[in-house]
Amino acid sequence: MSQENVPAQPPTGVGLDGLRTAAAGCRACELWEGTTQTVFGEGPETARIVFVGEQPGDQEDRRGEPFVGPAGRLLDKALAEAGIDRGDAYITNAVKHFRFTQKGKRRIHQTPGPEHLRACRPWLEAEFAVLQPEVVVCLGATAAKALISPSFRITKERGQLFPWTPPGADTLFAAADDEDAPHQTWMLATTHPSAILRTPDEARDAAYDALVADLRVVAHALA
Ligand code: URA
């Protein structure tokens, strides 16, 4: 963290719109410098399901919305096939700025480091505090390692729903009145849509079908 970085301090009681506004000026790590904007999560405050990806990509950075590039289009297709309406879900990322290296005119994705995940985490916790989701889906290893365990292996443990406590839930949910008293949150991790796009042709359909199968587990749990 350079000296100009200021730890993220999400305001409370402001809802998702207030958080989004506050996050627009985030300087908790250096990634804001080369990017267009903070890409905050998107979706209704009433969402029962939260998808957490890694970080915005090139198109997301330009448009200011998560999962609107090629990975987002694949996710949309898989959600529709699994019977999940994207409009009912909240979609966000573990890191809210695009990390990349410049190669000529192209911006090449770089995996965020632990320092970026740490710096951005207060925003994710604040999103969970507002949403109090019933199900959280980690899309890919970065989100799963950040939210489940550093030793989590997507290949071995994907597609399984298990009880999970959102980080900081003891204080985050403390203000809930009786009507929305804290409930059990469930977690499931699955492949990142970008990993499917990178899968060799001969194995891509199977990888995609496995993503849809995992999403059907979530749809079933919400039914
Ligand atoms: N990949 C992600 O993890 N998130 C996005 O928003 C886009 C691509």
Q: Is 55 in the pocket of ligand 1 (CB under 6 A)?
A: yes
On the question of pLDDT at 89 being above 90, the answer is yes
- CB atoms < 10 A from the CB of 6, how many? 13
On the question of pLDDT at 172 being above 90, the answer is no
Q: Is 93 in the pocket of ligand 1 (CB under 6 A)?
A: yes
* Cα(71) to centroid(ligand 1), Å: 7
Percent of the chain with pLDDT over 70: 92
* Cα(179) to centroid(ligand 1), Å: 34
pLDDT grade for 187, boundaries at 50, 70 and 90: very high
Among 83-97, 132-146, 161-175, 208-222, the minimum mean pLDDT is found in 161-175
Q: What is the mean pLDDT of the chain?
A: 93
pLDDT grade for 174, boundaries at 50, 70 and 90: low
Angstrom distance (rounded) from CA 188 to CA 192: 12
CATH architecture of residue range(s) 15-222: 3-Layer(aba) Sandwich (3.40)
pLDDT value of residue 30: 96
pLDDT value of residue 159: 98
* Cα(95) to centroid(ligand 1), Å: 9
pLDDT value of residue 167: 83
Q: Which atom of ligand 1 is nearest to the CA of 69?
A: 7
DSSP secondary structure of 177-223: -GGG----EEEEEE--HHHHHHS-HHHHHHHHHHHHHHHHHHHHHH-
DSSP secondary structure of 133-187: -SEEEEESHHHHHHHT-TT--HHHHTT--EEE--TTHHHHTTT--GGG----EEE
* Cα(221) to centroid(ligand 1), Å: 24
On the question of pLDDT at 3 being above 80, the answer is no
* Cα(44) to centroid(ligand 1), Å: 19
Q: Which atom of ligand 1 is nearest to the CA of 143?
A: 3
Q: Which atom of ligand 1 is nearest to the CA of 53?
A: 3
Q: Which atom of ligand 1 is nearest to the CA of 54?
A: 3
Instruction: Kindly report the backbone phi and psi dihedral angles of residue 66, in degrees, each rounded to the nearest multiple of 5, phi listed first.
Output: -75, 150
pLDDT value of residue 179: 58
pLDDT value of residue 181: 61
* Cα(57) to centroid(ligand 1), Å: 5
pLDDT value of residue 183: 81
Q: Can you tell me the mean pLDDT for 37-55?
A: 98
Q: Can you tell me the mean pLDDT for 35-46?
A: 98
On the question of pLDDT at 173 being above 60, the answer is no
pLDDT value of residue 4: 81
Q: Can you tell me the mean pLDDT for 136-158?
A: 96
The contacts of residue 203 (CB under 8 Å, 6+ apart) are none
pLDDT value of residue 176: 52
Q: Is 142 in the pocket of ligand 1 (CB under 6 A)?
A: no
